Amino acid sequence: MPSIKQLAARELHAFVASLPDGVQAQLLDVREPWEVQAAALELPGATPLRIPMHELPARLSELDATQPILALCHHGARSLQVVAFLLRAGMSDVYNVAGGIDAWSREVDPLVPQY
């Protein structure tokens, strides 16, 4: 299995901006719906996908394996597991958002509530 690639929250804007024309990142938020309600992340240039971690195996077809996938959760542990799962499923262009929405709130956008 390939190694897990990590992106810091503060790197997300630059990563999305650096993608070539025709490539659009998918921001895969694997938190529970109540968590997304508490603190949502909208990343311009990325397609939002909100699929709770436990639903992902049944909803795998909703992901576009030809586009980069940025997995996000609260602190980065669930999304790390999701990235490992996606790699085992044969996807290669997947990244874990290290520190999750908590890091985003602390390092990038303090208007996103912490919980």
Handedness of CA 57, 59, 61, 62 (dihedral sign): negative
73 has catalytic annotation: yes
From 73, 83, 101, 103, active-site residue: 73
Q: Which helix (H) or strand (E) holds 95?
A: strand 94-98
Catalytic residue positions, numbered? 73
